[in-house]
Chain A
C-alpha cells in the first residue's frame, strides 16, 4: 500500500511538473526583447463560455493581423489568455498570474463585472492597466466617487442602459405601465432592473408588476400569469438570451400582447432560432448597430477565419484592442505605466462608436446606445438614443 501511494504521489508530481514546465516554456521562449505581451482573461468555461471564446478568438485574430502588418513599435504582439470560469476568485488568480508570472503590459477583459471588480487591487499593486469589455457595473471603474487608477472599459454602464430603455419606452413607445421580470440571482439582471425602475418612475411611468425568477429556471408561467393580470404596456426582460427565448415563448403562449424590452444580454443568433415569433417586434438596447457599414469588414474577417458569427463581446474586445494599440503607440513604449497614462487621454473611433475615455470615470463618455427592433427575425437598427 505504501508503495502504491509512493507511485501515485510521484505520478502526480511528475504530471504537474511537466505540465507547468510546458506552460513555462511556451511563454519564456516566445518572450523576449522584441515581443509585447498582452494579457486576456474571460470565461472559456461555464455558462458564459460562448462570449469568452469569441473574445479570445477575436483578440488572437487581431494580433495576427497586427503582426502581419509589422507589429507595434517594431515589435511583435503576443497574447497570453486564461480562463476565469466567470468566477471572482479565479479572476484574481489569473490577474496575479498575468501580472506576476507572464509580465504582460496590459490586460484585455474580463467580460463579467463580478470578475472585473476584485482584480482592481491586483492591478494597482502590479501597476498594469486593464480594459474591461462588457463589464457594465459602475463600480468596475469608480468606487465611492474615486476612480480606480488601472481599470478602464469600452462599454456603457448599467445606469445608462437602464435609463435608455426606460426613456425610450416612455418617450418613443409611449408606454405608461411597465412590468419587470428579472433574475434574482444574477448581478447583471439586478443592476439593470434597479436602474430601469428608478428612471421609469422618475419619467412618470408606473411599474405595475415586478416578478423574479432564479438562475436556471425554465418555467416562467406563474410569474407571467401574474404579470398578465396587471395588463402592462411593456415587459422589461433584463437577462440573457436563453431565458429571454423561453420566457418570451411562454408569454406569447399565455396570450400576453405587451411589447418586450431588453438589454445587451439579448443579441445572439440563438435568440432568433429559439423564439423567432415570440420576440417579433421587441426592442432592446445594444452597444452597436450590427448592420452599420463600419462593422461589416470585421464581421466578414471573423467569419472567414472561424466560420462562426461574431457574438456581441467580439465587437467590444475589438474596440478594447484598438484602444490599447492606440495608447501603446502614443505612449511610445511598451511600458505599463505609460500605457495607463495614455489610456486616460485616449480618444479613438472604434466599430462600436466614438470612445473618449473620461479622466475621472475611465468610461467611454457620451457613447450612445443603439436601439434595435426585431423584425422578421432580423436585428433592425432603429436609432441612436441617449438618455438625458
Chain B
C-alpha cells in the first residue's frame, strides 16, 4: 500500500481510538471534555518512557499508557465530577493545558524541544486490531447495564438518581474508560510519530476530538468511526488548495452542523441488523411502496 495513504489511515485509526473514548464520555454520558489531549499526552509519554527507558515491548507499553491516563482521570474525576453543569468542562480544559505546560518543562522527557527516538512500532495492522477491540468493547458496554445507566444519566440526571443509579460512580467509570482510550491513542501516536512534543497535545487537539464526536453524531459509535475517518482524511485531500484548506475544512464542518445538527449519524448505529432494515425499506420503496409492511416498526 502507498505509504501516504497508509499514514492517513493510521492517523485516522489513532484519532478514532481517542474519539471512541470521548464518544463514551460526551455522546453517551453527556459530559463535555476539552482536556482529552491531556490524557493522550499522559498515555503517549508513559508508553514512550516504558519502551525507550525500560525496553518494554510495544503492546504492554501502550496498554500501560492507557492505565496511567485512566489513573490520572480518576484523580480529576474525584475532584470535579460532583460539579454541576459546565464546571466539569472548564476543569478538564484547565487540566489539559496544565499537563502540556508541565511536560513543556520536564527535561527528563525532553521538555518543549520534544523527545525523539521512540521506536517505530505502530503500523496499520496493530492500529486496526486496537480499533476493532475498542469498538467491540464499547458496543458491548453501551448495551450492558452500565451503558444503559450512562444513557439514563445523560438524559435526566436527577431522575436516574431517584431510581437508584449511583450517578457519581457511573460518571467516574465513564471518565476512566474514556481516559484509558485516549491514553492508548497517545501511546499509538508516540510509536507512530517516533517523536513527542507537548505542542502536539494542545487545546486544538482536544477541540478537534470533540468536533469529530459531534460531527459524527452524539451517542453513535458508528458516527464516531465515520467522523474520525472523514475529518482526518479531509485536510489531506484538501492539500491541493494549499492555504485555503483549513478554510474549507471549517466550512465543511459548519455546513454539516447547520444542515444536520445531530451530526452525521445522530444516534443511529450502523449494525448488520440496522443495515438490513434500511435495505428492506429501500427495496419496499423502490418496488412501488408496499404499504403496511413497515408501518409498525418505523
Contact = CB atoms under 8 A, between A and B. Distances in A.
A12 B195 contact: no
A152 to B, nearest CB: 17
A211 B90 CA distance: 29
Question: How many residues of B sit at the interface, in one of the four size bands?
Answer: 35 or more
B49 interface: no
B238 interface: yes
Residue with the greatest number of chain A CB neighbours at <10 A, chosen from B197, B248, B256, B264: B197
Nearest to B243: A44
What's the interface size class on A, roughly?
35 or more
Contact of A88 (B112, B120, B199, B241): B199
Interface in A35-69: 44-45
B112 A92 contact: no
A88 B197 contact: yes
A273 to B, nearest CB: 25
B193 A88 contact: yes
A114 B246 CA distance: 21
B117 interface: yes
A358 interface: no
B200 A89 contact: yes
A34 interface: no
B277 interface: no
Interface stretch (B58-66, B137-145, B178-186, B229-237): B229-237
A303 to B, nearest CB: 23
A45 B3 contact: no
Interface stretch (A117-125, A163-171, A241-249, A291-299): A117-125
B280 interface: no
A19 interface: yes
Nearest to B3: A100
B117 A185 contact: no
B239 interface: yes
A304 B244 CA distance: 26
Interface stretch (B4-12, B16-24, B157-165): B4-12
A191 B107 CA distance: 11
Contacts of B3: 96, 99-100, 122, 125-126
B194 A121 contact: yes
B116 A97 contact: no
A33 interface: no
Contacts of A15: 252
B276 interface: no
A44 B242 contact: yes
A82 B197 CA distance: 21
Main secondary structure of the interface of B (DSSP, over half): helix
A190 B240 contact: no
Contact of B111 (A125, A139, A187): A187
Contacts of B195: 88, 114, 117-118
A87 interface: yes
A93 interface: yes
A16 B260 CA distance: 19
Contacts of B248: 19
Contact of B236 (A97, A126, A191): A97
Nearest to A119: B195
A19 B237 CA distance: 7
Nearest to B14: A89
A195 to B, nearest CB: 11
B45 to A, nearest CB: 14
B193 to A, nearest CB: 5
Nearest to A85: B246
A269 interface: no
A93 B7 contact: yes
Contacts of B199: 87-88, 114, 187
A83 B101 contact: no
B104 A118 contact: no
B297 interface: no
A186 B112 contact: yes
Given A137-B113, A187-B114, A97 B239 contact: yes
Contacts of A218: none
Q: Which among A89, A122, A139 has the highest number of chain B CB atoms within 10 Å? A: A89
A305 interface: no
A184 B101 contact: yes
B271 interface: no
A77 B242 CA distance: 20
Nearest to B112: A187
A118 B48 CA distance: 14
Interface string A124-143: 01100000000001010001
16 contacts: A4-B260, A5-B264, A8-B259, A12-B230, A19-B238, A23-B240, A23-B241, A88-B200, A89-B11, A100-B3, A114-B114, A114-B197, A118-B116, A118-B193, A139-B116, A185-B101
Given A93-B7, A114-B114, A137-B113, 19 more contacts: A12-B252, A16-B233, A19-B238, A81-B242, A93-B236, A97-B236, A101-B2, A101-B4, A113-B113, A114-B113, A117-B114, A117-B116, A121-B120, A126-B3, A139-B113, A184-B105, A187-B112, A187-B113, A190-B112
List the 8 closest pairs (A to B, CB-CB), nearest first.
Answer: A23-B240, A118-B195, A100-B4, A187-B113, A96-B4, A96-B7, A187-B112, A100-B3
